[in-house]
Structure 1
Amino acid sequence: MPPEAVLPAPAPARLPAAWRAPLVSLAVGLLVLVAVTARAWGAMVHQWWNIDTYSHLLLVPFIIAWLVVLKQRDLAQLAPQPFWPGLVALAGALALWRAGEALGINLVAQAGAVGAVQAAVVTLLGVRASLVLALPLAFAAFLVPFGDEIIPPLQLVTAEIAIALTHASGVAAGIEGIHIQTPAGLFIVAEACSGVKFLIAMVTLGVLVCATRFRRWTTRAAFMAACILVPILANGVRAWATIYVAQFVGAEKATGFDHIVYGWVFFAIVLAVLLGVAWRFVEREPESHGWPLQAIDRWRWVARAEALRLAPTGALLAVVALAGVAAVSTLV
């Protein structure tokens, strides 16, 4: 029996010639924008690295890169055409960043910094390429750490769920705001116990799953609702379990055990159950996310928008000029 023929390994994909200069321009433009808004980016990286609530955001750049790679075949069929109206969005994003810096509001400054990068991509790569990259571009919004604003209401909701379950389990308890008094001691639903970390991570994951695995909006809405409600309810159950166990082992032991279990086990179990249920309703493969090229070709407004093109060199110079104006405005 003759040996099986050994097929040659496929040649590595080459970067299409039409993309080489635009990608260089994009890299230069993004470097300039990040340099100008470096303070906001530095604050974001600090929050990702040092604040547990936002540690999951360290994965977002890698997720964005993965989403872009999934669309490389579609992108290879396109030739980037700079889109001058994108400069309007870039100017608005830089103005937002500048306002946030002037007012000392990190969330606003960071949103402007990320928005400037998104607008630069649209400007330098054009409408059609940006539509193909719509999901990774939109997902970049999750680079901005947010959620501190909802911690107080989450504390109250957690306390209410915990006290209701505590009463239902036959433990005498009283509540005042986020303070729960029981025979085993006083329990406080602190900021770290609000469940905001779990909730934000689940919402981020939910958006990714909805965009890459589901087609129907009803399925997406149901899954996103679960990604919001399940973490809130689960956190209330966790708080109640801590209070209940404390009645037998003491508050100190129960609290220490709670942090370990919730940090490593409880979150993983809830996440696995939620994804396991969602898996039964998967409707497509990740690489089919977004709009296919055939659909984009049928949109007449795309052709009209592409008429508003700009020379590649002029587009890059305009991006750099706007970044320069923003930088100078900080010195005034």
Structure 2
Amino acid sequence: MSEVLGKKVNLLSILLLLFATWLVLFWDSVMATAAIWERSETFAHCFLILPICIYLLHRDWSALKHLPIKPNLWLLLPLLAILIFWLFGDLAHIAAIEQLATFLLLPLMCWLVLGNQIALRMWFVLFFWMFSVPEGEFLIPALQEVTADFTVMAIQLTGIPVYREGLYIAVPGGLFEVAVACSGIRYLIASLTLGCLFAYLTYYKWHKRVLFVLFSLVLPIVANGIRAYGIVMIAYLSDMKHATGADHLVYGWLFFGVVIFIMFSIGSIWRDPEPRSEEVEKESNPAVPLKTVVTGWLSAVVLILVAEGYNITAQNINYPAAPDIQSQWDLEDVSNSSWQPVFQNPGQEYAGRYQQSDFYAVWYAHSTEDSKLISSVNQLYNRSSWTRINSQAQSGYQLLEISSLDGRRRMLAYSYVTPWLQSPSNIKVRLTQALQALAGQPQQGMALVISRLVENDEDRKAFRAQAKAFFDENYQQVLNGSL
């Protein structure tokens, strides 16, 4: 054994070992992430991140391979913190947290085993690797609002009559919706990724790098607003013959290509000259004893295996019985499905009438990958027929006003209920359910929604009073009584 541990290993062997270890130990999380890259055009560029990282390492290899390898075992502390973060995401089936933690673990393992000097030299590779994580879709609602605001303002400056209702924009002869695909999230993420890479390769002064990255963030937002305005104008001037179907997506990608070209052209004006390469002493020896590497690598592997063992144990739980919601609220068996929420694979689903309002509730016994209370695919109202006009936070619940394509208005109030929390906040509920999972408890929960058509301010006032009385009740007892 001592002879084996005394053997020498080089930097390339260690990097391959670390990558293989990470891939094997987090195979399920990595494959789930790759599936998102494959099915989502927004994150298709993530397939290029690993090849780019390999290129960047090759570009700096002559300097990297002569730096000393000195494991930094203090990195076991942040590694443990990220493993707990990963447990949060995996047990609560919060893909964003799980994937962020999974891909952050590889740079931490590299830093731990290779040491400070090499990690500092390859800092951008470790940072750029994180663009593999398919994050950013939480920005879509805000980007839709910004695009709608910009488009309406530009149309008004043009002198064309325009009317906006939520995310719907009406001009003479046509009605447009600022849909998810029109939010510009694809352009923003792609622009930021390319902007960071361009800034690193082109500039060596930090203030230039920061300014160009900020430029790569602002430009696609402004450009997407101009693109949306252009699509409306093309459709309006052509009597709705052009830019109203799939062709406007083609215009969008061509426009984005031009924007990226402009961004790089402007950035190249202030390009920094290449720094002089430093001569490396020929007698430097990059090989280190295997024992030095095994200490750091094995410490990381042990921590990861402990976390994964706890993960398996925490998932062996008993599911609770479903609460009797029908008896709790004495519902009438009449429902209006035109606005009705859409929740994926609930344990129980209820719809009816409650005190002159439409009532809807779903219950989940536990969170799984395709069946969970908080999910991006769940809808609190039918988004294909209705759009949000405004939203007001209340104590313990949220008020929404939504509008249909034919001009009807509807008010809606909702909240989520778990044994530990009653709140309309997605983030609070997700974090609470993650804590439940870590404690080995089922992540059961309900979504409660009431809604009513409104025609005037008196209707709105009456619904607000009903919503306040409804959600002032402590509905946690409904769940806690069934545990």
TM-score, normalisation: structure 2: 0.58
Q: CA deviation at 1:150?
A: 0.6
Q: CA deviation at 1:149?
A: 0.8
Structure exhibiting the larger radius of gyration computed from Cα positions: 2
SS in 2 for 1:331: helix
Matching residue of 1:96: 85
Matching residue of 1:187: 176
Matching residue of 1:201: 190
Matching residue of 1:311: 292
Q: 1:175 aligns with which of 143, 150, 164?
A: 164
1-structure distance, mates of 2:276, 2:109: 24
Name structure 1 gaps, 5 residues minimum: 1-16, 295-309
Structure 1 residue 280 corresponds to structure 2 residue 261:
no
Q: 2:75 aligns with which of 83, 86, 93?
A: 86
Distance 1:287 1:276, change over 3 A: farther
Contact 1:70 1:286 in 2 (8 A): no
Distance 1:284 1:30, change over 3 A: same
Q: 2:215 aligns with which of 208, 222, 226?
A: 226
Contact 1:18 1:80 in 2 (8 A): no
Structure 1 counterpart of 2:250, which letter?
I
Matching residue of 1:327: 308
- Tell me the matched-pair count: 296
2-structure distance, mates of 1:116, 1:39: 14
Contact 1:29 1:320 in 2 (8 A): no
Q: CA deviation at 1:23?
A: 4.1
Matching residue of 2:112: 123
Query: Comparing both chains, which one has the higher relative contact order based on Cα–Cα distances under 8 Å and sequence gaps of 6 or more?
Result: 1
Deviations 1:120-168 (A, max 9, x none): 1011111111111111011111111111111001001001111111122
Matching residue of 1:164: 153
2-structure distance, mates of 1:323, 1:26: 18
2-structure distance, mates of 1:133, 1:275: 24
1-structure distance, mates of 2:185, 2:55: 26
Q: CA deviation at 1:287?
A: 9.8
Matching residue of 2:16: 27
Structure 1 counterpart of 2:252, which letter?
Y
Structure 1 residue 259 corresponds to structure 2 residue 240:
no
Please identify runs of 4+ aligned residues in structure 1 that moved more than 4 A.
none
Q: What percentage of residue pairs aligned between the two structures are identical? A: 27
1-structure distance, mates of 2:207, 2:100: 29
1-structure distance, mates of 2:241, 2:311: 50
Q: CA deviation at 1:283?
A: 0.6
SS in 1 for 2:259: helix
Name structure 2 gaps, 5 residues minimum: 1-6, 281-290, 314-483
Q: What is the alpha-carbon root mean square deviation over aligned residues?
A: 2.3
Q: CA deviation at 1:34?
A: 2.4
Deviates more, 1:182-191 or 1:206-215: 206-215
Contact 1:84 1:315 in 2 (8 A): yes
Matching residue of 2:346: none
Structure 2 counterpart of 1:260, which letter?
V
SS in 2 for 1:27: helix
2-structure distance, mates of 1:47, 1:227: 24
Structure 2 counterpart of 1:314, which letter?
T
Structure 2 counterpart of 1:222, which letter?
L
Structure 1 residue 57 corresponds to structure 2 residue 46:
yes
TM-score, normalisation: structure 1: 0.83
1-structure distance, mates of 2:134, 2:14: 28
Structure 1 residue 113 corresponds to structure 2 residue 102:
yes
Contact 1:179 1:186 in 2 (8 A): yes
Structure 2 counterpart of 1:55, which letter?
A
1-structure distance, mates of 2:164, 2:9: 62
Q: CA deviation at 1:79?
A: 3.0
Contact 1:56 1:201 in 2 (8 A): yes
Deviates more, 1:51-60 or 1:253-262: 253-262
Deviates more, 1:47-56 or 1:24-33: 24-33
1-structure distance, mates of 2:205, 2:68: 31
2-structure distance, mates of 1:18, 1:202: 43
Structure 1 residue 217 corresponds to structure 2 residue 206:
yes
SS in 1 for 2:176: strand
